[in-house]
Structure 1
């Protein structure tokens, strides 16, 4: 991961349909903060999950955003975000069997520009956590670029990589979220629902942060560097 992504983000030319108020909100969005400013316990994290119309990185769309905050070493249930995005051209797809977001729910959702502005204001300068983060990072980044002309530069750290890095003896290197929640005895009230998945990912992250601190990893920057080194080792062993 690039440790210099905290630099002030470049914002591309925005879509002409943005209102003056929306443009003002866009310009007021903070850039990402540095990962070495706080300890793991002090850092404010935004734990994100997206529901999408499918898994195609170029064609499918973000349908729902769910997020919860970890701050001061605890999950702050007073800081939660949940929003369904209105998609006028959304067609019924097999993915509805997983996320349950049918045409009626999508048609009644929030206008994407407003929802995305609200979400990035909620994120602030915090780094993001997600399980299989590369997909969420790409899909969110594409949605922000297309709707706002905004270039997403906030660090994303993948809980799916943190877990085997911190707990190698679990032997769950290719595991999914359900595998890790079972390993630690966690219970998800509902799966494939953005807010519920974000919450159980946050619970998993809290456990992993506790293990990381016992291993001498004290800052988000150290965690990111450790995960990056672990990934390089895994890739070299695969050849």
Structure 2
């Protein structure tokens, strides 16, 4: 009798990794928790390129905003993910040497560490759509995990909250210059996450002055603003 050939689907994880994955907290809804007490994780990814279907995550950095301040003692320091294939372009893009990547963490371990760090908090990032898609694909490939956490785009918050006082270009460097923020090291995940968090704090203060006191209200205003922006280009 011919036996069927069964191909295992998904990543191969240890029992401990499976247990850790299954214990990850689901995201909390965006509710009426005041911005001043809301815990938010500000994320930055360094990747091998900008192709969201082919390129991979090389490094993760994140900081926490809570009680209107950045918790410097509660950071996810830039963690290198050891790629399955050899990456050379990263030396030019991020200054990450190939031997550093070869000595990086196993992606499943690094991503479990990161998601445990995130907990049930919402995630902020500059141009968040890119980070969200790259992280979603990395989690699916390495852990078989579906990312459901809400992302809020600081690159959309900034022009929405500062319509009459904004730089000509909508890049992170432009907003940093606009508000006099010092970038310690560009294209370094932890440094970029930190300066994005500093920018986010400025924007959250402006949001409160505009009557947006929680992420639910802020996200609704953002959705309406996004619709108006799209209508202007039609």
Q: Name the TM-score, length of structure 1 as normaliser.
A: 0.91
Match of 1:72 in 2: 67
Q: CA deviation at 1:79?
A: 0.7
Question: Counterparts in 2 of 1:142-157, with a 5 A limit?
Answer: 142-157=137-152
Q: CA deviation at 1:56?
A: 0.7
Match of 2:5 in 1: none
Q: CA deviation at 1:170?
A: 2.0
Alpha carbons 2:167, 2:178 under 8 Å: kept: no
Match of 2:29 in 1: 34
Question: Counterparts in 2 of 1:12-31, with a 5 A limit?
Answer: 15-31=10-26
Question: Counterparts in 2 of 1:125-140, with a 5 A limit?
Answer: 125-140=120-135
Match of 1:90 in 2: 86
Q: CA deviation at 1:173?
A: 7.0
Q: How far, CA to CA, are the matches of 2:214 and 2:51 in structure 1?
A: 34
Alpha carbons 2:11, 2:143 under 8 Å: kept: no
Alpha carbons 1:47, 1:129 under 8 Å: kept: yes
Match of 1:61 in 2: 56
Match of 1:169 in 2: 164
Q: CA deviation at 1:34?
A: 1.2
Matched residue count: 226
Q: CA deviation at 1:14?
A: 7.5
Provide the alpha-carbon RMSD of the alignment.
1.4
Alpha carbons 1:144, 1:151 under 8 Å: kept: yes
Q: How far, CA to CA, are the matches of 2:148 and 2:168 in structure 1?
A: 27
SS of the counterpart of 1:50? strand
SS of the counterpart of 1:189? coil
Out of 106, 119, 123, the residue aligned to residue 118 of structure 2 is: 123
Does 2:210 match 1:215? yes
Alpha carbons 1:88, 1:107 under 8 Å: kept: no
Unaligned runs of 5+ residues in structure 1 are 1-12
Q: How far, CA to CA, are the matches of 1:55 and 1:69 in structure 2?
A: 26
Q: How far, CA to CA, are the matches of 1:233 and 1:53 in structure 2?
A: 34
Alpha carbons 2:58, 2:80 under 8 Å: kept: yes
Q: Which has the larger radius of gyration?
A: 2
